Amino acid sequence: MTLPPKVTDRAFARLAEIGAGAQGKALRVAVEGGGCSGFQYEIALDDPAEGDLVLAGTGEGEGEQVVVDEVSLPFLANATIDFSEELIGARFVIDNPNASASCGCGTSFSI
């Protein structure tokens, strides 16, 4: 059985901090062909659509959502969606056990 991606409390808290849910938006995480390793992540605030897997926040991130479309879902099985703040910047990151290799940019991977 394929498990859906998980979203950390830190990622939901960041969505609450930027007011995504209050604006009626969700964090869309998608996989597209391209990038330097074959596939790339597309991460954006977007409206949930019919057929999306909706992952809902609790606690500090209650009311926030992360959505994944049906085509991207198999590529993100068992992945963890997180938010990272480092000296070089802050961003949503994906720890994907399905990726056999990734690029230094952090958004491109191969399977």
Task: State which CATH number among 2.60.120.580, 2.60.300.12, 3.40.50.2000, 2.60.200.20 fits the domain covering 6-110.
Answer: 2.60.300.12
**Residues near 35 by beta carbon (within 8 Å), at least 6 away in sequence:** 103, 105, 107, 108, 109
Q: What are the tens digits of pLDDT across the range 23-80?
A: 999 999 998 876 565 788 899 999 999 999 999 988 888 899 999 999 999 989 999 9
pTM for the structure as a whole: 0.84
Q: What are the residue boundaries of the structural domains of the chain, listed by start? A: 6-110
Burial class (CB in 10 A: 0-12, 13-18, 19+), 26: buried
Q: In this model, does residue 104 exceed pLDDT 60?
A: no
Residues in a beta bridge with 43: 29
What is the reported pLDDT for 18? 92
Per-residue confidence (pLDDT) for residue 69, from 0 to 100: 95
Residue whose C-alpha is closest to residue 75's, from 53, 50, 44: 53
SS3 89: strand
